[in-house]
């Protein structure tokens, strides 16, 4: 017998690998560049904070791939 109460609804985010974060940079000229991919959320955000702490004028951010 199949008991539906034992099944959990799993979202796409839960199925995605944990190491699907990327770090990006946008220069003063508006061009965007991938710095590194295949990171965990924690590592990606730490790298962004590291780059931002150097005081460069570029914009850095972390994004999750699906």
Q: Which domain holds residue 34?
A: 23-66
What is the number of structural domains in the chain?
A: 1
Is 64 within the bounds of a domain? yes
Is 55 within the bounds of a domain? yes
Is 62 within the bounds of a domain? yes
Is 49 within the bounds of a domain? yes
- The per-residue pLDDT for 18 is 77
Is 14 within the bounds of a domain? no
> What string of pLDDT tens digits covers the 66 residues of the chain?
444 444 444 444 444 567 899 999 999 899 999 999 999 999 999 999 999 998 877 899 999 987
Residue 22 CA, chain-centre distance (Å), reads 5
Of 30, 34, 11, the residue nearest 21 (C-alpha): 34
- The per-residue pLDDT for 3 is 46
pTM of the model: 0.69
Is 12 within the bounds of a domain? no
- The per-residue pLDDT for 16 is 52
């Amino acid at each position: 017998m199949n008991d539906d109460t034992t099944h959990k609804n799993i979202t796409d985010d839960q199925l995605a690998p944990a190491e699907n974060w990327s770090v990006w940079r946008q220069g003063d000229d508006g061009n965007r560049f991938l710095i590194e991919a295949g990171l965990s959320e924690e590592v990606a955000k730490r790298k962004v904070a590291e780059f931002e702490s150097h005081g460069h004028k570029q914009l850095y951010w972390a994004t999750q791939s699906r």
